[in-house]
A and B are shown apart, each in its own frame.
Chain A
Amino acid sequence: MSGLKKGSVAVVGAAESDLGLVAPNTSPVDLMAQGTMRALEDAGLKLSDVDGLFVAATQVRMGPMALSEYLRIKPRYFDGTIIGGSSFMTHVAHAQAAIEHGLCEVAVIAYGSTQRSVSRAAASPREYNYYESPYRPILPISAYAMAAARHMHQYGTTREQLAEVAVAARKWALLNPKAWEKEPLTIEQVINARVVSYPFTVRDCCLVVDGGGAIVLTAAARAKSLKKKPAYVLGVGDALSHATISSMPDLTVTAAVESGRKAYAMAGVKASDVDMLSLYDAFTITPILFLEDLGFCPKGEGGRFVSNGAIAPGGKLPVNTSGGGLSYCHPGMYGLLVMIEAVRQVRGECGQRQVPNCDIALAHGNGGVLSSQCTVIFGSEATV
């Protein structure tokens, strides 16, 4: 984003809370607090160092208040911007602005959800909308299904190509001990699974699990003195395009075009400089759209781009090495975990799924029904 400085801040701590299925009566704020302490431990910082707090969740309406009360901290700067699963990428931009202007020094961005425990309907109740609710779309699934249908119609994207995205995610997940899914998956299994909202089967849809986590940011100068290798924020960009799917101008083009352009401009890098991608895969169509909109292939070519294991382990471009929202973890607003994987890749901490020489990782968040798009580019010491 213009106005922010490349590499002025870095992620110095990153951690998930417990994931999957947590104990009965665990609260989303329990998970935020657990993630926060693990991320601070990862950074070698203490709770008393935190003076900036950024929180978003669907089950906690006033996140910054809930987490600061729970931890009994008094952040100098706080922000509860909520624009869906990409909220946390926007929090990075806001935290960077706050740190650059001296409004805080150590910023925590935290999230927690118990949607598997309490059900998706209870964790993320939908607002009634006269113009959509009578038709009973399963939201957000049906909105993304219509984007996929339009992409198939316009560009010849196939059912098999959508399934490739889920299969690639599963192959990566099998390399991640923290992933929810533990069994292999084939294209046929994806296509023949239970249809939810055509063309999507249940295997085209992200997981519904509990989880959360936190990341810690501070100024580059301080980052160098901390425990882990800093993951510098090279570029950030965000954009809103609509709230309801009926008002999305073109279902095959997302505002990632704009968020990506802003992030690349700030970072001074282009798509071909990126070593790995962490793309919000709420549904199999989303990585296809984002690969196009972020400049990794021409518009309409995303389906063909992901074919033949191109984004799976051993493929031409590593995408969603954690296993993604499709196979690793999706607690409802997955953007924070999207960034945690990118940070770990830049640090070189990913074990058997580590991308060799990963200096630049792009994390892209999506919120609502393709409504908010936010891009963060992380870089190693070599990139600043």
Chain B
Amino acid sequence: MQSLTEKSPLGTYIEHIKKGELAYQVSDDGKAVFYPRAIAPVTGGNLQWRVSKGLGTVYSTTAVYYKGEAPLNVALIDMDEGFRLMSRVEGIDAMKVKIGMRVKFRAHPGDEKQPPYPVFTPAEGAK
């Protein structure tokens, strides 16, 4: 069982994001796990880290309207490896993000308050 005094699941995940990688975990039973955990769900066993190929499909999407700002996309992305995460599809009008759209991961650098985090861009035609 992984020690939590040296490294946290989120800490490892952020290290990957800083290298431009979207990491996830795989359970003993072969299932993809996300968000990163110290203990495998269901089995209670160990988890192995993997790096995603970065391609996924929009499962659902919304455009958030904050006053005085352009509409902001928020989406749930189903990655090809079998896990889902919340993210944002960038480089396209928020209202034009559609369910079923193919998207590709990139690392957003974050800022002084927010560690880097994954975002997506359209990848039409990506299999």
Contacts and interface: CB of A to CB of B under 8 A. Distances in A.
Interface of A: 130-132, 134-138, 142, 145-147, 149-150, 153, 194-199, 244-247, 251
Given A135-B74, A137-B74, A198 B60 contact: no
Contacts of B76: 146, 245-246, 251
Contacts of B71: 195, 198
A147 B61 CA distance: 9
B84 interface: yes
Given A135-B86, A245-B86, A150 B60 contact: yes
Contacts of A132: 86
A150 B61 CA distance: 8
B62 A137 contact: yes
B59 A150 contact: yes
Contact of B60 (A135, A194, A244, A251): A251
Contact of B88 (A135, A138, A247): A135
Contacts of A196: 64-65
A230 to B, nearest CB: 43
B117 interface: yes
Interface in B50-105: 59-66, 71-72, 74-76, 84-88, 95, 99-100
B10 interface: yes
B44 interface: no
Contact of A134 (B59, B66, B117): B117
B110 interface: yes
Contacts of B114: 134
Given A130-B10, A142-B62, 10 more contacts: A130-B115, A134-B110, A137-B74, A146-B76, A195-B63, A195-B71, A197-B62, A198-B95, A246-B76, A246-B85
Nearest to A132: B86
B118 to A, nearest CB: 9
B72 A136 contact: yes
B85 A131 contact: yes
A136 B74 contact: yes
A339 to B, nearest CB: 30
B99 A150 contact: yes
A154 to B, nearest CB: 8
A204 B99 CA distance: 21
Q: Give the most central of A147, A194, A196, A199: most B CB within 10 Å.
A: A196
A251 B108 CA distance: 27
Contacts of A251: 59-60, 76
Interface string B98-127: 011000000010100011010000000000
13 contacts: A130-B115, A132-B86, A134-B108, A134-B110, A135-B72, A135-B74, A138-B64, A146-B60, A149-B60, A197-B74, A198-B63, A198-B95, A245-B76
B57 to A, nearest CB: 12
B105 to A, nearest CB: 14
Q: Give the most central of A135, A147, A245: most B CB within 10 Å.
A: A135
